[in-house]
Amino acid sequence: MTTVHPMLTLSDEVATALAAGQPVVALESTIISHGMPYPRNVETALAVEATVREEGAVPATIAVLAGRACVGLTPAQISYLGKSGLAVPKLSRRDLPLALANAGNGATTVAATMILAARAGVEVFATGGIGGVHRGAEQTFDVSADLQELAQTNVAVICAGAKAILDLPKTLEYLETHGVPVVGFGTDDLPGFYTTSTGLGVDFRADSVAQIAELMRAKWDFGLHGGVLVANPVPQDQALDPNRVDAAIAQAIAEAHAQAISGKEATPFLLARVKDLTGGDSLETNIALIKNNARLAAGIAAARQAQR
C-alpha cells in the first residue's frame, strides 16, 4: 500500500500502474453496497474488475475504510462492502469528511469516487448510472451531488445514461449550464440505462475511444475544469422493454412519495423498487451494462495514455 496523504491510500497494484503510466480505471462502491443485492453485488464487482484487467487496464475500486480513502480494494474489502449492504454509510462529497474524521467506513457515490480518483491521479471512471435531477426537483430541490462534481472535477465518467427515476431533460440542462460535455458512444441519442435510447440528444457523438481521449485532452489542457460524461448504450440484446421500465419507475416514485422517502435514501429506495418491480431481469441488464462500461473505460484509459 502507498500512502500519498495521511487520509489517502493506494493499493500497490494501482500505485505501480500509475507510476508506470499504465491505464487505470476507477470503480465506485455505492453501486456494490446500495445498488445491487448480495451476493450478486460482490460477484459483479469482482467480474467488473476482471473485465478491466482483460482489457489491459488496472481496476481501482474506491471506498473509505477505517477513515482512509482507499483507491484499489482487495477482494475481501469488496466482499465486506457487498455483505454489509445498506449498513455501510453511503458517502457523497458532503459525507466524506465525517467518515475520514471518525475512522469510518463508507461506500463512495459517483461524486465521492470522482473526488478520490482525481486525488489519486485516475482520470477514467466506469459506473452504471449517475445521479441527476430528480423528478419533482422544482419542489424538493433534489439534485444529486454527482452533477456538481461533474461540473468541477477532472474525471471522465463512463455510464449507460441515467435512469428515468430522474428528470432527464432537467439533468441535461444542468450539465449544459455547468459545462459538462455529454458524449454518446456510437449514438446520437442519450441512452436510458436499461434502454438504449431516450429520444433526448447528446452533445457529441464519438465512434472511437481516441475521439473521447482527444476531447479530454483538449478540455483539460485548455484549463476547462470538470468532467466529461460518456454515455454508452447497453447492448441491444440485453436492453429491457421501455414500457415495462417506465411502469416500474412510475410505481417506485409513487411509493417513495407515499412513504416520504427523501435525501440520500431516495436513490437507493428507487433503485431497489425498480429492481423488484421488473423482476430479476433488470439486475441482469444492470450487470451487463456495467461490464460494457468497464470495457469501454479501459479502452479510453489506454487511449489517453497513448497520447503521452
Closest distance of CB 230 from ligand PSU, Å: 15
110 binds, among ligand PSU, Mn ion, none (CB under 5 to 8 A by kind): ligand PSU
Which residue lies nearer to ligand PSU by CB, 23 or 131?
A: 131
- Sequence-ordered list of residues with C-beta below 8 angstroms from that of 99, at least 6 positions apart, any chain: 64, 67, 89, 91, 105, 106
Question: Is the bond preceding 39 in cis, omega lying within 30 degrees of 0?
Answer: yes
> Which element (helix H / strand E) includes 71?
strand 68-71
Which residue lies nearer to Mn ion by CB, 123 or 142?
A: 142
Q: Which residues of this protein are in contact with ligand PSU, per CB under 6 A?
A: 28, 30-31, 35, 92, 109-110, 128-129, 131, 144-146, 163, 193, 264, 267, 271
Closest distance of CB 257 from ligand PSU, Å: 16
Is-contact 99 106, C-beta < 8 A?
A: yes
Single out the catalytic residue among 55, 123, 149, 163: 163
Neighbours of 75 (CB within 10 A): 12
Pairing of strands 124-126, 156-159: parallel
* Dihedral in degrees, nearest 10, Cα atoms 286, 119, 61, 151: 0
184 binds, among Mn ion, ligand PSU, none (CB under 5 to 8 A by kind): none
Point out the residue whose Cβ comes nearest to ligand PSU. 129
Mapped onto helix, strand or coil, the DSSP state of residue 38 is: coil
Closest distance of CB 260 from Mn ion, Å: 14
35 binds, among ligand PSU, Mn ion, none (CB under 5 to 8 A by kind): ligand PSU
Closest distance of CB 74 from ligand PSU, Å: 21
219 binds, among Mn ion, ligand PSU, none (CB under 5 to 8 A by kind): none
Cα separations (Å) of 265 from 26, 90, 105, 223, 224? 24, 9, 18, 35, 33
Cell of 193: 440505462
User: Would residue 28 show up in a list of annotated catalytic residues for this protein?
Assistant: yes
Identify the residue whose cell numbers are 500512502.
3
User: Would residue 163 show up in a list of annotated catalytic residues for this protein?
Assistant: yes
Which residue lies nearer to Mn ion by CB, 121 or 268?
A: 268
Neighbours of 164 (CB within 10 A): 21
Identified binder of Mn ion from the candidate list 142, 146, 149, 167, rule CB under 5 A: 142
Mapped onto helix, strand or coil, the DSSP state of residue 214 is: helix
Binding range to Mn ion, per CB under 5 A, among 36-44, 67-75, 140-148, 293-301: 140-148
Binding range to Mn ion, per CB under 5 A, among 4-12, 32-40, 138-146, 287-295: 138-146
Q: Which residues of this protein are in contact with Mn ion, per CB under 5 A?
A: 142
Q: Report the catalytic residues.
A: 28, 163
